[in-house]
Structure 1
């Protein structure tokens, strides 16, 4: 019997060049944002902060620098699990900011962190998949290629999406590899988190510009739905990847194809519901009514979830290099490269408030746990904010 994976879950970009199973770093950072010969666009003045929605800083903590690592922050109940680039992994109580557990692996990481609330998984830069339980290493397994997507821990298994476009499943108790699904490789892949999540008894992953549903028991393909397609004449222009984060409501999964489109797929039928052109590099978030995304130029856009029609767009944060958004109550929350966290109205994108961190830039999409908005900066500051 296939276990329901979803029940196990809570809730300038570099590229890499893939050669067989070896991944070599390339130097193509920021090509999609502006030409190397052009000056970096200057953000406009934000003006005075008018706090329409009261927000206060509740606590701060530290994890160590996350610069250079595609960080995903995992939430399960009151606990936030996160990792640093130098190998510190911690579970933090979102109510207090105190550690539930913390461990230092003593080696740098390339991806983290995935968790089911009990076990946490990360991948080292030496291509080792490492599973932790309560801060203690349970097992590790060597991988054939680099990994930039946080592992998915669900249904007693650990799933890994590698940069060579392979997906593998490992037994959560022993680390034994259960299966491996290999797709044809492209010349380039993004050095950032891709798409991987559970929808019922289906493992949903991003392969190039397609959302693909896999049988989690053996890796066989159940369906494929296109969101973006290759364009252009060179490797960079032809690059098309689905990027995290995604937003799932029931069978509806909406995601972004890097610098190409935003769209939604019906995961029960395996069919594309809609796509809209979009020039962004970060994931999306939303609810049953709307999907929200930040474009590479700093625009924030809302699309109607049912048909993809545009609800609103705002350029107030233009050229501020935004994170993927978080829909939180009446607010759409995004972080920027200066360390500011912006709360925009979900109704029309008007500003509701903004709060400051340490100025090093927000490193990952904001999350919420225990009624607390949690953000992490590139220098490793962890901040918890609550409504006044």
Structure 2
């Protein structure tokens, strides 16, 4: 299990140390060997082929930081950022570099793009906006804490979620703060935050206390809140129910999943829970064929019926391979693993139909799919565009 708590305060630091120590003891056998090991690469009958369209190194990538820096496409360009501070703009069809800048700060959240801006969050608690045309800095605004997810933009408002459970809205023109909302922060959390989803003038976000909330984009006025999961257990470790996945929107429904909790379907207008099913995941989800697809904390990929919450199929052959969140492409879903393999799975029944190795540094970020092209950003900083044949 990939568990990487972050210290928020002294109590959090103590809990994090104790929690990780317990995990280490639980994972060892009497001979000192790890009891939980990743499954070997599963056998499969190849039905599709993955072809690399282009590949380019764009910086330091994720390194060993446990970040989920994910590229974003806006118009004809794809934008990527590395933890060391480099941000690059490439032609999405050819991989040719349009511009590249070094912000000389540690980037921990990104990338967001839209309305002429490229957006990243930093370890020292800033949101930085670059001009899409040439990468020049438009503004740099302080927020309340480290930003671990991609800032989002809509209707002239930039929204960032900080690690201290605060949601901050900034004016896209100059970075001036428009509003701030916060929720109660648990003592111990995973190192990560949900990426806000903006739609129809509403901000949807998940939080480390197991809640989902909706706010008006222009004013920050709360619209509703709902419990994705309720903390249970006698220890702070057992009570962790972080919602680190981005809210997935489909029609009038919203889907969220928590760590050690549930996957739920919500009415997006009022936050009413339509169905709930036990699940544990910190990865974002995707949809297709009337299902939502998720990679759980043990790297089992499951298809869940969007209407009822029933399990359609589960693919367990990737157990403990630190699978990324899945993305839908055509009739398939794709996900990367810790050894840098990209796997192709049928949406129909979960069988494995294809595989290729992209980069031995590993793939932690969820693949990005745009117009049938799969963009994979590796931990080592390689950005590759692939197609399924």
TM-score (norm 1): 0.90
Q: Provide the C-alpha distance between the structure 1 equivalents of 2:151 and 2:20, rounded to a whole number of angstroms.
A: 24
Deviation at 1:49, TM superposition (A): 5.4
Contact in 2 for aligned 1:23/1:145 (Cα 8 Å): no
Write the deviation string for residues 342-378 of structure 1: whole angstroms up to 9, x where unpaired: 0000011111100111211102000112431111111
SS at match of 2:7: strand
Q: Provide the C-alpha distance between the structure 2 equivalents of 1:148 and 1:233, rounded to a whole number of angstroms.
A: 28
Deviation at 1:291, TM superposition (A): 0.6
SS at match of 1:255: strand
**Corresponding position of 1:351:** 352
Matched, 1:52 2:53: no
**Corresponding position of 1:35:** 26
Q: Provide the C-alpha distance between the structure 1 equivalents of 2:372 and 2:39, rounded to a whole number of angstroms.
A: 32
**Corresponding position of 2:142:** 142
Q: Provide the C-alpha distance between the structure 1 equivalents of 2:40 and 2:184, rounded to a whole number of angstroms.
A: 46
CA separation of 1:88 and 1:224: change in aligned 2, threshold 3 A: same
SS at match of 1:107: coil
**After alignment, is 155-164 or 330-339 more displaced?**
155-164
Write the deviation string for residues 83-126 of structure 1: whole angstroms up to 9, x where unpaired: 10001112222211122332111121121111116211112222
**Corresponding position of 1:4:** none
Deviation at 1:143, TM superposition (A): 2.1
**Corresponding position of 1:102:** 100
CA separation of 1:85 and 1:239: change in aligned 2, threshold 3 A: same
**Corresponding position of 1:18:** 8
SS at match of 1:18: coil
**Corresponding position of 2:314:** 313
Contact in 1 for aligned 2:205/2:246 (Cα 8 Å): no
The 5 A counterparts of 1:291-302 are: 291-302=292-303
Contact in 2 for aligned 1:158/1:172 (Cα 8 Å): yes
CA separation of 1:153 and 1:373: change in aligned 2, threshold 3 A: same
TM-score (norm 2): 0.90
Query: 114, 139, 145: which one pairs with 1:116?
Result: 114
Contact in 2 for aligned 1:260/1:277 (Cα 8 Å): yes
SS at match of 1:44: coil
Contact in 1 for aligned 2:161/2:193 (Cα 8 Å): no
**Corresponding position of 1:266:** 267
**Corresponding position of 1:157:** 157
Contact in 1 for aligned 2:153/2:159 (Cα 8 Å): yes
**Corresponding position of 1:167:** 167
**After alignment, is 188-197 or 54-63 more displaced?**
188-197
Q: Provide the C-alpha distance between the structure 1 equivalents of 2:251 and 2:357, rounded to a whole number of angstroms.
A: 35
Q: Provide the C-alpha distance between the structure 2 equivalents of 1:147 and 1:283, rounded to a whole number of angstroms.
A: 17
Q: Provide the C-alpha distance between the structure 2 equivalents of 1:162 and 1:133, rounded to a whole number of angstroms.
A: 23
**Corresponding position of 1:5:** none
Deviation at 1:52, TM superposition (A): 0.5
Write the deviation string for residues 274-296 of structure 1: whole angstroms up to 9, x where unpaired: 11111223221113610111122
Q: Provide the C-alpha distance between the structure 2 equivalents of 1:97 and 1:253, rounded to a whole number of angstroms.
A: 34
Write the deviation string for residues 139-173 of structure 1: whole angstroms up to 9, x where unpaired: 11122222212111221111111111111111000
CA separation of 1:87 and 1:140: change in aligned 2, threshold 3 A: same
**Corresponding position of 2:368:** 367
Contact in 2 for aligned 1:249/1:287 (Cα 8 Å): no
Question: Gaps spanning 5+ residues in structure 1: where?
Answer: 1-11
Matched, 1:63 2:58: yes
Deviation at 1:227, TM superposition (A): 1.2
Matched, 1:188 2:182: no
Matched, 1:380 2:376: no
Deviation at 1:25, TM superposition (A): 11
CA separation of 1:89 and 1:55: change in aligned 2, threshold 3 A: same
Contact in 1 for aligned 2:47/2:353 (Cα 8 Å): yes
Deviation at 1:33, TM superposition (A): 9.7
Q: Provide the C-alpha distance between the structure 2 equivalents of 1:302 and 1:102, rounded to a whole number of angstroms.
A: 39
Contact in 2 for aligned 1:344/1:351 (Cα 8 Å): yes
SS at match of 1:238: coil
Aligned residues: 376
Deviation at 1:37, TM superposition (A): 3.0
Deviation at 1:48, TM superposition (A): 5.1
CA separation of 1:259 and 1:63: change in aligned 2, threshold 3 A: farther
Q: Over the residues paired in the alignment, what is the CA RMSD in angstroms? A: 2.3
The 5 A counterparts of 1:82-97 are: 82-97=80-95
